[in-house]
């Protein structure tokens, strides 16, 4: 208990110092909306193995005490050489020690015969290792299932219509819930590649161009199919790195882009339908490397607040090769250093109604 109190005091002092020294946050902002915000992290699966950070929270003590959940990539249990591996025993021990939830990002919706059963079995393989080690996965984050299967977006003999995708997802939901009754399931989307509506364009928008389907249309159809089957979409998770969020014209330059309006619409749609709204907060490093990831991610937090975007959950996430190092949080431009500084901005700009002492 004494150690926890010391860490909390250090975190408070750190936040106060950073706000004065760095000057990112506007301490006099009147736009304060209090919610029980959740904060999660998801270190990259293509850099170094996360086992070292799971086994050594002393090098990221401030971050580990501030997060509510850790999202791993399911492919880290597959043994595929292009991804780092993760030890399920270590992951479970870490989650129990830090009293945080675990989420799994799953994207194996690649087209094939016997599609539903193959996808379900693949998901089991990416979830079971946690449960078999007496742990629990609280949320399953489905990465782009619609665009991975949709006719037009995919030129494949087994590509599906939106209605067929909705039916497949209902069956998937039911089979997952039968095995893991308490798990929450939601959709993750790469928003810049969709037009959200016919008037709210994406920077690329090519998924809509190729299929004729807007993302709002897809959301509504999947949501309706789940409700009719007695199931529920628990959350919608938006992937829109800051490089794209700040764009004001489409890639072709032929239409205006307004991502603040788009995210506000998604937030309102989620609230109306009793669905949580998650937002991934990150940026493509591009030629600026780890420093680019750090600078733009922190800038993103401030911009979201300025634009009055209020998700239920913020996720500091990377799927990039930079930052190449996860640790330590005290070293400039590591992943945990970015997470630490982004989280202190979130704490200042998005104060929580209540915050459990860990």
For 12-61, the pLDDT digits (tens) are 455 545 544 444 444 434 455 667 899 999 999 999 999 999 999 999 99
Residue 71 has pLDDT above 50, yes or no: yes
Q: Domain of 84: which CATH number? A: 3.20.20.60
Mean pLDDT within 67-81: 97
The answer to whether position 167 is within a domain reads: yes
The answer to whether position 7 is within a domain reads: no
* pLDDT tens for each residue of 214-228: 999 999 999 999 999
pTM of the model: 0.92
Q: Identify the CA nearest to 140 among candidates 110, 86, 179.
A: 179
Q: Beta partners for 249?
A: 256
Q: Identify the CA nearest to 123 among candidates 173, 73, 74, 180.
A: 74
User: Contact at 8 Å (CB) between 231 and 177?
Assistant: yes
User: Contact at 8 Å (CB) between 338 and 298?
Assistant: yes
Task: For residues 104 and 98, give the distance between their C-alpha atoms in angstroms, rounded to a whole number.
Answer: 17
Task: Assign 3-state DSSP to the chain and report helix, strand, coil percentages, each to 5.
Answer: 45, 15, 40
The answer to whether position 354 is within a domain reads: no
* pLDDT tens for each residue of 80-93: 999 999 999 999 99
Out of 162-171, 279-288, 347-356, pick the least confident.
347-356
The answer to whether position 15 is within a domain reads: no
Residue 198 has pLDDT above 70, yes or no: yes
Task: For residues 295 and 297, give the distance between their C-alpha atoms in angstroms, rounded to a whole number.
Answer: 6
The dihedral over CA atoms of 328, 47, 184, 263, expressed in degrees to the nearest 10, equals 90
State what percent of residues in the chain have pLDDT above 70: 89
The answer to whether position 303 is within a domain reads: yes
The answer to whether position 32 is within a domain reads: no
> Residue 59 has what pLDDT?
97
User: Contact at 8 Å (CB) between 343 and 19?
Assistant: no
Q: What is the mean pLDDT of the chain?
A: 92
Question: In total, how many domains does the chain have?
Answer: 1
> Residue 8 has what pLDDT?
54
Residue 256 has pLDDT above 70, yes or no: yes
Mean pLDDT within 138-159: 98
The answer to whether position 16 is within a domain reads: no
Range of the domain at 102: 39-349
The answer to whether position 63 is within a domain reads: yes
* pLDDT tens for each residue of 293-346: 999 999 999 999 999 999 999 999 999 999 999 999 999 999 999 999 999 999
């Amino acid at each position: 208990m004494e150690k926890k109190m010391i860490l909390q005091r250090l975190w408070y002092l750190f936040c106060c110092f950073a706000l004065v020294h760095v000057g990112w946050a506007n301490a006099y902002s009147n736009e304060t909306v209090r919610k029980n915000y959740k904060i999660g992290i998801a270190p990259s699966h293509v850099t170094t193995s996360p086992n070292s950070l799971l086994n050594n929270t002393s090098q990221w003590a401030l971050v580990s005490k501030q997060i509510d959940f850790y999202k791993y990539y399911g492919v880290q249990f597959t043994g595929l050489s292009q991804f780092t591996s993760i030890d399920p025993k270590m992951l479970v021990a870490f989650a129990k020690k830090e009293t945080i939830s675990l989420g799994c990002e799953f994207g194996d919706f690649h087209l094939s015969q016997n599609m539903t059963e193959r996808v379900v079995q693949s998901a089991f393989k990416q979830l079971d290792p946690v449960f078999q080690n007496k742990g629990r996965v609280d949320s399953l984050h489905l990465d782009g299932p619609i665009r991975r299967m949709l006719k037009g977006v995919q030129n494949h003999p087994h590509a599906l219509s939106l209605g067929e995708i909705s039916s497949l997802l209902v069956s998937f939901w039911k089979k997952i819930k039968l095995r893991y009754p308490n798990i929450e399931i939601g959709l993750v989307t790469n928003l810049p590649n969709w037009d959200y509506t016919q008037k709210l364009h994406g920077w690329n928008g090519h998924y809509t161009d190729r299929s004729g389907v807007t993302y709002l249309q897809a959301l509504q159809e999947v949501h309706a199919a789940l409700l009719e089957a007695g199931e529920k979409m628990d959350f919608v998770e938006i992937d829109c790195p800051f490089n794209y969020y700040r764009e004001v014209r489409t890639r072709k330059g032929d239409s205006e882009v307004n991502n603040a309006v788009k995210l506000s619409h998604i937030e309102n749609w989620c609230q109306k339908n009793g669905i949580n709204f998650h937002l991934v907060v990150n940026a493509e490093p591009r030629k600026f490397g780890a420093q680019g990831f750090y600078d733009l991610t922190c800038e993103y937090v401030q911009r979201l607040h300025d634009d009055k975007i209020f998700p239920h959950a913020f996720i500091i996430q990377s799927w990039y090769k930079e930052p190449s190092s996860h640790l330590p949080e005290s070293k400039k431009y590591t992943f945990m250093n970015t997470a630490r500084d982004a989280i202190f901005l979130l704490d200042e700009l998005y104060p929580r109604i209540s915050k459990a002492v860990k």
